[in-house]
Amino acid sequence: MCTVTFYPNNNEYILTSNRDEVKHRPTLAPKKYTINNQEITFPKDEVAGGTWIATNNNTKTVCLLNGAFERHQRKESYSRSRGLVLLESFSYSNVEDFVNNVNLNGVEPFTLLLFDTKNTLEITELRWDETKKHVLKIDATQPHIWSSSALYDKSTREQRKKWFQLLLDKNERLNKDLLLKFHLSKHDKDAFNDIVMERANGLQTVSVSQIVMKKDKVATFDYYDLVANKKYQLTNE
């Protein structure tokens, strides 16, 4: 929910997400849940009941980052969790219907990345700044990196883009292992802002989720619990 990379690779794409959170926030590893007669796979935040990354295992995957454009002033309470908004997206017939009709009043700012392979791969970026929805179509033929605006200022986000570009420049083609290494590596001596981050307030990178989508189905869903030092894998192959 705080660092996300997307990499298209022939007939597949690789989506990798780091979650930066307080160390001991109760969380369940990914499993399949049935919601509104749909089978959806996701790791679950036990506190709020939502998630930061989820897939219906065939055509739709959705990923969340906290914050919209720049760091915002948090309120004491919000109407519902951003992770529940993510899960709500699966109840709509298509991305456009969700974007146009979802009620976000009282929801904290976020960025939602919606990947749809029903026909050709389409990526929709939805940013909510507490007053307005901002929608952008992302080029699905090119790699991308996103960082949470709630945790990282503009200069840090730009630095992370440079690290990712360096990885792309060094390798003719990336695979899941190289991308995972990028998400698990320290790129700087500044632990406050690194890809694998750790801060004095207890906030740190607690997990990495990686989905490999091949054609119209999820091939693998890997989850690395960095606190418990455990790996979980779900596969459809």
Structure tokens at 189: 């001596």
Its domain, for residue 151, covers 3-235
Q: What is the mean pLDDT of residues 150-173?
A: 94
- Confidence tier at 15 by pLDDT (50, 70, 90): very high
| pLDDT tens sequence across 120-145 | 899 999 999 999 999 999 999 999 99
pLDDT of 237 higher than 60: no
pLDDT at 67: 84
By C-alpha distance, which of 110, 115, 117, 22 is closest to 68? 110
Overall number of domains in the chain: 1
- Confidence tier at 36 by pLDDT (50, 70, 90): confident
| pLDDT tens sequence across 178-235 | 999 999 998 988 899 999 999 988 899 999 999 999 876 788 999 999 999 999 998 8
Tell me how many degrees the CA angle 143-4-165 measures, rounded to the nearest 5: 40
CATH of residue 114: 3.60.60.10
Range of weakest confidence among 35-39, 123-127, 148-152, 195-199: 148-152
Kindly state the DSSP code that residue 70 receives in the 8-state scheme.
Answer: S
Alpha-carbon distance 73 to 160, whole Å? 23
Q: What is the mean pLDDT of residues 8-17?
A: 93
Its pTM stands at 0.93
| pLDDT tens sequence across 46-57 | 998 999 999 998
Beta 230-235 vs 217-225: how paired, if at all? antiparallel
| pLDDT tens sequence across 65-106 | 988 777 767 777 767 889 999 999 999 999 999 999 999 999
